[in-house]
Amino acid sequence: MAYQRILRLFELAESHRHIHPERSREYMRLAQRIAMRYRVKMPRELKMRVCKGCSTYLVPSVTMRVRIRDGYVLYTCLLCGREKRYPYR
């Protein structure tokens, strides 16, 4: 149930990201809150799309920068500068 709501919020964030980027962020905040309250683990591919620092919905080359370093991928949020690293496969 909670998981369905989270998925739905990601869909909404995706569809609003051009017209209302600030609304996308609200959706992401809500998704994070739901995940916490219901102790739902957010799937990795969804987690990768939210900035931990400012909850921005991350879109490559729009709200985040993607860099490939040796062994990992570096994502940088363009709004708050927070970085995420993922091992590169």
Which stretches of the chain bind Zn ion, using CB under 5 A?
Answer: 51, 53-54, 56, 77, 79-80, 82
Could you tell me whether strands 83-87 and 64-69 are parallel, antiparallel, or unpaired per DSSP bridges?
Answer: unpaired
The C-alpha atoms of residue 9 and residue 18 are separated, in whole angstroms, by: 15
2 vs 82, beta carbon nearer Zn ion? 82
- Give me the least distance between CB of 14 and Zn ion, in Å please: 17
- Orientation angle between helical segments 2-16 and 21-37, nearest 10 degrees: 170
20 vs 82, beta carbon nearer Zn ion? 82
- Give me the least distance between CB of 16 and Zn ion, in Å please: 17
Amino acid code (one letter) for 12: L
23 vs 38, beta carbon nearer Zn ion? 23
